[in-house]
Amino acid sequence: MQQSKTLKEIAEYLGGTVRGDGAVRVGGLAPLETAGPETITFLANHKYAAKVAETKAGAVLMAPGNESYGRNVVEVANPYLGFAKLLTLFYTSPHPGLGILPEANVGTGVTLGEGISIYPGACIGNNVTIGARTVIHSGAVIYEGAAIGDDCVVHANAVIRERCRLGNRVIIQPGAVIGSDGFGYAPDGRGYYRIPQIGIVVLEDDVEVGANTTVDRAALEVTLVKQGTKLDNLVQVAHNCQIGRDCMIVSQVGISGSTKVGDHVTLAGQVGVAGHLTIGDNVMVGAKSGVPNSLAANAGYSGYPAQPHKEWLKSMAVVSNLPTLKKTVSSLEKRIAELEKQLKK
């Protein structure tokens, strides 16, 4: 954790303003309920506003216009973003460059930037390029010819396969695999002939890949994940896919081969996307939805098959009433049957 900061310094760091005593010092963050005089807390959800009156925090990070209840306040337009930046300020320090530590295995023709750290048990193949200040943790394997940019972190037991390319500030969490073979087989009448996957994966700047996520290499060219996109844990991106900028792909999403996902797309948990589709920019798909067809831009979708979210809500309202509707229909059927009997007499 960094040394304490005055509220004035924090406001300057966040581009906010102080309401109260700017000379008060805090040295960390804590929730509203447990914060003490030496920590700063935050109010990101207005439904918890009353807790500001009860907190013992030295200051509260909040949006302008909220009631302070006499507390010192740092006002910022986006308190949740401010909270994230303060976590970085207080708890994240630059990683010291340790060089190649004993028992790391580094091949020939490797190009290493300044300030790198390669931990014991990491395996770096021949002709690999690793940028400045990048960290390769124990058990990570970087195959021959791969290229990794500056300020990246490859965590324990992650794998970067041959010739794949990572931009700057890319984070690969433990157990992730970048460039695994795409699932490609040609039927030969008796079984399936394996199609060699000779393409690569490219992750652009600021991409993050969660634990045990896989991004398959293309059959011929490039599987591409564009700048700023975040892949959660246990995500599958199949071969030849293109994922746009600043997308949020949540845990257990599966994206089948050759699908194109636009910019600023959110796929919630367990969404399944069929292959060779196009998902437009600014699309949001609700959890557990199935996407068998392309989706137009600037809209929200839910359900299986995925449909516009408002239509899905109407459908779900009907589904919840199905037991009552069944009873009603059964009752009507009985009455009709009785009327038919009477008419036949």
| C-alpha closest to that of 117 among 171, 164, 153, 74 | 153
Catalytic residue among 239, 264, 276, 309: 239
Per DSSP, the chain holds a count of helices (H) and strands (E) of: 4, 39
Instruction: Tell me the backbone φ, ψ of residue 204, rounded to 5 degrees.
Output: -80, 180
Count CB atoms within 10 A of the CB of residue 296: 12
| Cα 151 to Cα 87: distance, rounded to the nearest angstrom | 19
Is 46 in the active site?
A: no
Would you put residue 332 in left (φ > 0), alpha (ψ -120 to 50) or beta? Answer: alpha
Q: What does the CA dihedral 156, 157, 163, 166 come to, rounded to 10 degrees?
A: -30
Give me the DSSP letters along 302-332: ETTTTEEHHHHHHHHHHHHTHHHHHHHHHHH
Task: Return the residue matching tokens 């634990």.
Answer: 211
Residue numbers annotated as active site: 239
